[in-house]
Amino acid sequence: GNKIKIIISDQNMRYLNGSEALIHVKTFENNNKIKNDPIFICITADDNEENEENLKKIGFNEVMNKDCNKKKFTHCLRKYLLK
């Protein structure tokens, strides 16, 4: 079947933040023995270094600021999609 390659999640979503969504996806995959291993990209307005480190510890592969430019965002996507 088709695999999901990248999941982009906003850290500040209304009902389920990006970290919670990541944990739900990983738990679902583990519980159902799914070996998808998508790349998780977090979009956040909180761009301090400590926040980025914490989000990467949770399991995000990339953390991007909400005001990043199109070129930086495209580079990030290509990094994983063109493997």
pTM, to two decimals: 0.87
pLDDT at 18: 93
pLDDT digits (tens, 9 = 90+) for 7-61: 999 998 889 999 999 999 999 999 999 888 899 999 999 888 999 999 999 999 9
pLDDT at 1: 64
pLDDT digits (tens, 9 = 90+) for 19-28: 999 999 999 9
| Local structure of residue 30 (DSSP, 8 states) | H
d(CA 37, CA 34): 8
* Cβ–Cβ < 8 Å for 42, 63: yes
* Cβ–Cβ < 8 Å for 18, 43: yes
User: Which ranges in 1-83 belong to alpha helices (H)?
Assistant: 18-31, 49-58, 70-81
